[in-house]
């Protein structure tokens, strides 16, 4: 460890007391204050991470709601858009297309389109369970 021959007057970040530090990077006056400060910093980091996750979840929910409103205006939808609209996976939509439950048009090997009207009709023609 490197130490210097001179002393630096500093204020402890935890207790606010005045102390003499031998290094520029020293932040606390004692080992106990350093432990308390470390725990406090880790607690604040966890809180910040949780707040960011919450904000990301709120933004993603809002964007899904906006996307659904935009999808209702489009006459033709992709498989991914239909999956978002019906709140299911892409694989489920592909399975429903293969079974013939959803009418779809395949323009090429990679391009599949589904009419929004066909999806609406599917919900109107359902029987009660």
pLDDT of residue 6: 85
Phi, psi of 21 (to 5 degrees): -100, 145
Cα(47)–Cα(118) distance, integer angstroms = 47
Q: pLDDT tens digit string along 40-86?
A: 999 999 999 999 999 888 877 766 666 777 878 888 999 988 888 88
Q: pLDDT tens digit string along 87-118?
A: 899 999 999 999 998 889 999 988 999 999 88
Cα(41)–Cα(31) distance, integer angstroms = 15
Is residue 45 within 8 A of residue 61, CB to CB? The reply is no
CA proximity to 84, closest of 100, 73, 97, 71: 71
For the entire predicted model, the pTM comes to 0.50
């Amino acid at each position: 460890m490197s130490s210097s021959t001179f002393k630096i007057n500093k204020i402890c970040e935890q207790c606010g007391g005045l102390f003499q530090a031998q290094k520029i990077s020293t932040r606390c006056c004692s080992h106990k204050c350093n432990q308390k400060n470390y725990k406090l910093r880790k607690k604040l980091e966890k809180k910040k991470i949780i707040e960011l996750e919450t904000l990301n979840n709120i933004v993603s929910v809002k964007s899904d709601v906006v996307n659904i409103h935009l999808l209702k205006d489009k006459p033709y939808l992709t498989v991914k858009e239909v999956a978002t609209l019906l709140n299911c996976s892409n694989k489920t939509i592909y399975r429903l297309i293969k079974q013939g439950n959803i009418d779809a048009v395949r323009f090429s090997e990679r391009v599949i389109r589904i009419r929004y009207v066909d999806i609406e009709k599917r919900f109107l023609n359902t029987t009660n369970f």
